[in-house]
């Protein structure tokens, strides 16, 4: 298991994460990347805890997601199954479990300040926090994905479900964009990930 974890986690996070797996009777399954989530947790009928994680080259995202899911397990065990999945009990548990990892031996210096701020009040997904999402993207494998705020106004882009849009003007923080097939207007967060389409001249 240590060899598998070493592929996906920062070096100094491998041993403590392996201890969490053993201590909590976790079956860890790593799957091809799913578009809608980075990971999830559920308890199996036999009492074992299943955490499913996306395979990713971004070791820092993998670590945050893994601890996020273990925090669900620990919060449910500690406070009962009736708590809100991302309520105060989970936030407290997630924050306490992440603290030992928010050190220079695990995360690069440029992420530490962002993480310290984020974990003052952790959100239900790292993607919801635009500052953290943008900071983590620097460690993704190089691809053809951009953030909305990076592309020029008037650009044509595709989102994960295949729909194609044209970027419009910014309003306060978000961007008005038009779906090309329907003409409908949609609002996009500045850190929404999109694939820019190069138009033929």
Give me the sheet containing 26-31, strands edge to edge: 26-31, 49-54, 39-43
Question: Is residue 33's pLDDT more than 80?
Answer: no
Would you state the structure tokens that stand for residue 90, as one six-digit string? 């989970």
Mean pLDDT, the chain, integer = 91
Question: Is residue 134's pLDDT more than 90?
Answer: no
Which domains, from first to last, does the chain contain?
2-137 (3.30.2010), 145-197 (2.30.30.30)
- The pTM of the full predicted model, rounded to 2 decimals, is 0.77
Would you state the structure tokens that stand for residue 139, as one six-digit string? 């460690």
Query: pLDDT for 81-117, tens place per residue?
Result: 899 999 999 999 999 999 999 999 999 999 999 999 9
Confidence of residue 201 (pLDDT cuts 50, 70, 90): very low
Residue 17 CA, chain-centre distance (Å), reads 18
Per-residue pLDDT at 96: 97
Rounded Cα gap, residues 62 and 199, in angstroms: 35
Helix, strand, coil % in the chain, rounded to nearest 5: 40, 25, 40
């Amino acid at each position: 298991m240590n060899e598998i974890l070493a592929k996906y986690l920062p070096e100094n996070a491998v041993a403590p994460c392996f201890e969490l797996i053993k201590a909590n009777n976790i079956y860890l399954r790593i799957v091809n990347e799913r578009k809608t989530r980075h990971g999830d947790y559920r308890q199996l009928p036999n009492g074992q805890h299943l955490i499913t994680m996306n395979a990713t080259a971004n070791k820092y995202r993998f670590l945050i997601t893994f601890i996020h899911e273990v925090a669900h397990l620990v919060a449910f065990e500690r406070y009962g199954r009736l708590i809100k999945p991302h309520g105060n009990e989970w936030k407290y548990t997630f924050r306490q479990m992440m603290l030992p990892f928010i050190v220079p031996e695990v995360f690069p210096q440029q992420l530490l300040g962002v993480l310290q701020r984020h974990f003052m009040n952790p959100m239900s997904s790292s993607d919801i926090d635009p500052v953290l999402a943008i900071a983590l993207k620097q460690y993704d494998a190089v691809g053809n994905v951009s953030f909305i705020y990076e592309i020029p106004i008037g650009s044509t882009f595709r989102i994960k479900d295949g729909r194609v849009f044209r970027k419009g003007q910014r309003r306060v923080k978000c961007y008005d964009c038009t779906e090309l097939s329907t003409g409908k207007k949609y609002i996009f967060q500045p850190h929404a990930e999109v694939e820019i389409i190069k138009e033929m001249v």
